[in-house]
């Protein structure tokens, strides 16, 4: 007697234990025209467990990436905010100007007066180093530190004493120019130079 597979309709010999086309196995009675059954059963439990593990791993990675990205963005925002606060407190590199005012004779020395002025938009808190020069290396120098912030558009008068005088009295050996360095913290934020007047005033 032939067997007919109820799954795919394939006619198989009576001796066949499974459908030659779809692989369904016969019922217990080999002679009955009963549906074939699959000879291979795939357990669903392990597959579902493996799928859940893979999905959980992907979800954890995505969550970790999002958290790390958020932390990096927060760190960058903090750095930008800190830089902005510093820029609002400290003047730009070109905001401090030093100008020679006059030179006076004080005993055996010459006293060189300078105006240190903040031309920027914010208060200045730091130091200014002034060096008096002639044809050779610096002949005198001094550093002036702010004890309180120098507000915008304000200046302070400072002086440096030196034995060497200006051009009217010491000619080729005279102090004829100066340069200065503006320091904020441990670094030099600005520098400049200027001329020293040739005369000594009373």
Query: Does 82 map to a domain?
Result: yes
Output the pLDDT for position 44.
61
- Looking up tokens 């990096």 gives 72
DSSP the chain: --EE-TTT--EE-TT-SB-TTT-EEP-S-TTS----EES----HHHHHHHHHHHHHHHHHHHHHHHHHHHHHHHHHHHHHHHHHHHHHHSPPTT-EEEEEEEEEEETTEEEEEEEEEE-SSS-B-SEEEEEEESSSS-SEEEEEE-SS-B-TT-EEEEEEEESS--HHHHGGGS--EEEEEEEETTEEEEEEEEEPPS--B-
Residues 74 and 137 in one domain: no
Output the pLDDT for position 81.
52
Which pLDDT tens digit goes with each residue over 23-40? 666 444 444 444 444 444
Query: Does 200 map to a domain?
Result: no
Residues 185 and 100 in one domain: yes
Residues 124 and 191 in one domain: yes
Residues 121 and 131 in one domain: yes
From first CA to last CA, the distance across the chain in angstroms is 139
Residues 47 and 32 in one domain: no
Which pLDDT tens digit goes with each residue over 153-168? 999 999 999 999 998 8
Residues 19 and 122: their CA atoms lie apart, in Å, by 91
Please give the tally of structural domains in the chain: 3
Cβ neighbors of 5 (< 8 A, separation 6 or more) are 11, 12, 19, 21, 22, 24, 35, 36
Higher-scoring residue by pLDDT: 169, 75: 169
Residues 68 and 149 in one domain: no
Residues 101 and 83 in one domain: no
Output the pLDDT for position 107.
93
Decide if 160 contacts 144 (C-beta within 8 A): no
**The two three-digit tokens of residue 87, written as one number:** 């820029």
Query: Does 181 map to a domain?
Result: yes
Enclosing domain of residue 8? 1-41
Q: Taking the model in full, what pTM does it have?
A: 0.54
Query: Does 202 map to a domain?
Result: no
Query: Does 201 map to a domain?
Result: no
pLDDT surpasses 90 at 9: no
Residues 141 and 188 in one domain: yes
Output the pLDDT for position 160.
97
Residues 37 and 52 in one domain: no
């Amino acid at each position: 007697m032939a067997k007919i597979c109820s799954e795919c309709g394939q006619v198989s010999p009576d001796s066949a234990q499974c459908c030659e086309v779809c692989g369904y196995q016969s019922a217990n009675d080999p002679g009955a025209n009963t549906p074939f059954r699959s000879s291979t059963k795939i357990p669903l439990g392990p597959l579902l467990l493996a799928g859940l593990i893979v999905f959980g791993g992907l979800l954890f990675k995505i969550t970790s990436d999002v958290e790390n990205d958020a932390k990096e963005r927060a760190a960058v925002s903090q750095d930008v905010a800190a830089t902005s606060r510093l820029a609002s407190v400290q003047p730009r590199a070109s905001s401090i100007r030093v100008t020679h005012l006059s030179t006076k004779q004080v005993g055996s020395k010459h006293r060189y007066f300078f105006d240190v002025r903040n031309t920027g938009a914010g208060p200045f808190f730091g130091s200014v180093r002034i060096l008096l020069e002639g044809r050779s290396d610096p002949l005198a120098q001094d550093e002036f530190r702010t004890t309180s912030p120098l507000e915008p558009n304000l200046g302070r008068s400072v002086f440096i004493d030196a034995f060497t005088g200006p051009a009217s009295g010491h000619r080729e050996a005279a102090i004829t120019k100066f340069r200065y360095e503006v320091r904020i913290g441990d670094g030099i934020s600005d520098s400049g130079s200027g001329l020293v007047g040739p005369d000594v005033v009373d």
